[in-house]
Structure 1
Amino acid sequence: MPAHIFRPGIIDALAAAALFGASTPLAKLLVGAVPPVLLAGLLYLGSGVGLLGWWWLRRRLGREVREAALARHDVPWLAGAILAGGVVGPVLLMSGLAHLSAAAVSLMLNLEGVFTASLAWFVFRENFDRRIALGMALIVAGGVVLAWPDEAAGGTSPWTLAIVGACFAWAIDNNLTRKVSAGDPVQIAGLKGLMAGLVNTGIALAMGYPLPAAMATVAAGVVGLLGYGLSLVLFVLALRHLGSARTGAYFSTAPFLGAGLSLLLLRETPGFAFFGAAGLMAAGVWLHVTERHEHSHTHEALAHDHAHVHDEHHQHAHDFSWDGREPHTHFHAHAPLVHSHPHYPDLHHRHAHD
């Protein structure tokens, strides 16, 4: 395994992928007992209540928090992320999941990484190269194979398009969340979960759906806390270090775990298209996780607030008493700097390329 796989952010992205990937077949087990819109709400409520409860308790007990709080200028970005990824995305996913196999849906979720990267490259101007573009092309090809008319793969239907729509909604969410990724990830994920959960649950109740049995409600909350809440905390940390496109690429490993669990837990029998799509998507993900990006680059003057250690990018003095503990959080300024080292488009490497 390449040594750079252990760079900050990569393990966070892979762990986030594992948790989210496992949530798809587990949610499939609940779809029969809970209507899709209501299930989407309960998943996010479990995420929001659990994370914000921990966030509040951490402060109540006087535990030191070394993360920057969200600021007023973060609100529009976070609100857009909640609408796209917390309201639209999960409703579309649960609707499609109610009619398609969990294994097929799990692999189709790879399209989230493709859409995330496309928006990051062409709308938010993150850098990319031919290797990354080829990897995304293979993932797209896998999605096309999987969505081709085939009974075992779920068939081309409105429900297939619902999964594609969910992937696009989450891609918007990912790129907007990147804008606030310097903030406290527990606070970000908790607020997203709570607001999205309240909206979706409110919609479901207004439609006349009754609350499910207590065990189903608790199960949905636990799946949401782990697969949507903790996964999102790790995803935000990855965004901070890797940028949207590359975080989406590493996150593309999620569907393979989800598909594998679907075959084991639900005893689904996929067709040939499933395995062909899996091979194409796996090749695309491999191109991403083996990437190495290094060149001489310029850091412009920058001032911001986030958790940091005093590495080569944080050589600044303090105008307050500091006990030397790291990481710590405070508003700080970066002087212009030119150097060369392996890097990703993190908080300090969002520069243009020739």
Structure 2
Amino acid sequence: MQVRHHAAFTALVAAALFGVTTPLAKALLGSLSPFMVAGLFYLGSGIGLAVGILVKRTRRTAGERQNESRIQVAEIPWLLGAIAAGGVVGPALLMLGLSTTSAATSSLLLNLEGVLTAVIAWVVFRENVDLRIFLGMVAIVAGGVMLSWQPGTASVSPGALLVTGACAAWAIDNNLTRKVSTNDAMVIACLKGLVAGPVNLGIALMLGAHLPGAVGIATAMLTGFAGYGVSLVLFVVALRNLGTARTGAYFSVAPIFGVALSIVLWPEMPSWRFGVAAALMGVGIWFHIRERHEHPHTHEALDHNHRHRHDEHHQHVHDFEWDGEEPHTHPHRHAPITHAHAHFPDIHHRHVH
């Protein structure tokens, strides 16, 4: 129970950091092109996390460095797909959408990322999604439609469609990232930043944009480090412990933080549709948080490597000298076991129902 609560808190902190990035990006778009903002955000994320990785590794012993998890060859396609969808397509669509959509509306529309993440996890990757998760998705989708629909017309605004497209790209990213979530979260997020940053910057420069001054570059990169870098690291950790759909559900609270900051930056009275949409999305989030899943299940034999404690799923001996420190990282084997307890589809509970 403590592990799940910690994972939920981790996902909520990730949501807060990402949520406040949206109105800040809106503010930066006044002087920078959408691709330039996305590029600087991810470049700041990648460079900042690279420095953090180097500092962390200098503090590790030779044994710890030898036992740390490394991305396997079979996992590389999943990681590249995640980088392309979430690091290139997603931020570009979001920045283009923000240029014609209010920050508050965009922030609430980003709730759709959690819904689309759960749908893909459910339909494509066969992750269990119960009735409460489904009802929560319905409520959030209804709120998104309420926000993006333009009264008196038969279409939604182009800006809202672009933001929705960004949510779909990040939903694909989330599901692909789950495939590599047992690896070092900082490495995963760092690679995404170092690849996506230069790609978006290159697109911006080819379209005629120019780099801002030193202050503008530093501001954008620091914002990206917190909102895209640290946030993604925490998200991957939560993904490892909660599964894709549940992590996406908790992450759906991100717009709440974005809306709060956008109202501070651009004081305005929201419309009645804004209030109804917020209420619907709030109901959806409540359904997600209230979900509980428990049944007898069987763990097949499994060999993998990740940061862990010696809980009920990690009862193994070590073939090396261990000082008793937890959590720790090393390759280990799970023996088959059948038991029942409340659980999420984390890295140890990806079974069929």
TM-score (normalised: structure 1): 0.95
Q: Over residues 164-198 of structure 1, what are the superposed CA-to-partner deviations in whole Å (9 max), with x where a residue is unaligned? A: 10000000000000001000001110111110001
| 2:269 is aligned with 1:269 | yes
- Three-state SS of the structure 2 residue aligned to 1:316 is coil
Q: Cα deviation per residue 1:187-238 (whole Å; 9 max; x = unaligned)? A: 1101111100011011111222110121111111011000000000000000
The aligned residue for residue 233 of structure 1 is 233
Conservation of the 8 A alpha-carbon contact between 1:38 and 1:209: yes
For 1:1-354, what aligned pairs fall within 5 Å after superposition?
7-62=5-60, 67-150=68-151, 156-353=156-353
- Percent of residue pairs bearing the same amino acid type: 59
Distance 1:349-1:74 versus aligned 2 partners, 3 A rule = same
1:42-95 alpha-carbon deviations (Å, 9 max, x no partner): 000010000011112222354766852322222111100000000000000001
Asked if the contact 1:86–1:192 (Cα under 8 Å) also holds between the matched residues in 2, the reply is yes
Unaligned runs of 5+ in 2: none
Paired with 2:327 and 2:303, the residues of 1 have a C-alpha distance of 17
The secondary structure found in structure 2 opposite 1:7 is: helix
* Contact 1:103-1:268 at 8 Å conserved across structures: no
Contact 2:149 2:157 in 1 (8 A): no
Please tell me whether the aligned partners of residues 5 and 11 of structure 1 are also in contact (alpha carbons under 8 angstroms): no
1:252 and 1:5 map into 2 onto residues whose CA distance is 20
Query: SS state of the match for residue 234, structure 1?
Result: helix
* Contact 2:107/2:259 (8 A) holds in 1: yes
Distance in 1 (alpha carbons) for counterparts of 2:290 and 2:268: 32
Measured in 2, the distance between the counterparts of 1:72 and 1:175 equals: 18
CA distance in 1, matches of 2:190, 2:151: 39
Per the TM alignment, residue 9 of structure 1 is displaced from its structure 2 partner at its CA by 1.2
Q: How far has the Cα of 1:4 moved from its partner? A: 7.0
Give the Cα–Cα distance (whole angstroms) in 2 for the partners of residues 177 and 319 of structure 1: 30
Aligned amino acid, residue 281 of structure 2: M
CA distance, structure 1, for counterparts of residue 339 and residue 352 of structure 2: 15
For these two proteins, the number of residue pairs brought into alignment is 348
- The 1:225–1:150 alpha-carbon spacing in structure 2 relative to 1, beyond 3 Å, is farther
Query: Residue 331 of structure 2 aligns to which amino acid in structure 1?
Result: F
SS in 1 for 2:333: strand
Distance 2:236 2:42 in 1: 16
Instruction: Work out whether residues 298 and 338 of structure 1, in 8 Å CA contact, stay in contact via their aligned partners in 2.
Output: yes
Distance in 1 of aligned mates of 2:195 and 2:11: 24
User: 8 Å contact 1:82–1:195 — kept in the other structure?
Assistant: yes
CA deviations 1:293-320 (Å, max 9, x no partner) are 1111111111111111111101112222
Aligned partner letter, 1:286: W
- Kept in 1: contact 2:4–2:241 (CA 8 A): no
1:68-124 deviations in whole A, cap 9, x for unaligned? 232222211110000000000000000110111000000000010110000000000
Q: 1:314 to 1:4 in 2, by over 3 A?
A: closer
Q: Structure 1's 234 and 150: CA in aligned 2 closer, same or farther, altered over 3 A?
A: farther
What is the TM-score with the length of structure 2 in the denominator?
A: 0.95
Runs of 4+ displaced beyond 4 Å: 3-6, 61-67
Q: In 1, Cα distance between the equivalents of 2:208 and 2:70?
A: 38
Check whether the contact 2:4–2:242 (CA below 8 A) recurs between aligned residues. no
Shifted more, 224-233 versus 61-70: the winner is 61-70
Residue identity opposite 1:217 in structure 2: I
Separation in 2, partners of 1:200, 1:335: 45
What is the Cα deviation at residue 327 of structure 1?
A: 1.3
What residue identity is the alignment partner of 1:288?
H
Alpha-carbon separation, structure 1, partners of 2:299 and 2:96:
45
Q: CA RMSD in A?
A: 1.7
Residue segments in structure 1 that go unaligned for 5+ positions in a row: none
Name the SS of the counterpart of 1:307 in structure 2.
Answer: strand
**Aligned AA for 1:9?**
A
Q: Which has the larger displacement, 6-15 or 16-25? A: 6-15
Asked whether the 8 Å contact 1:33–1:216 carries over to 2, the reply is no
Aligned-partner Cα distance in 2 for 1:147–1:4: 39
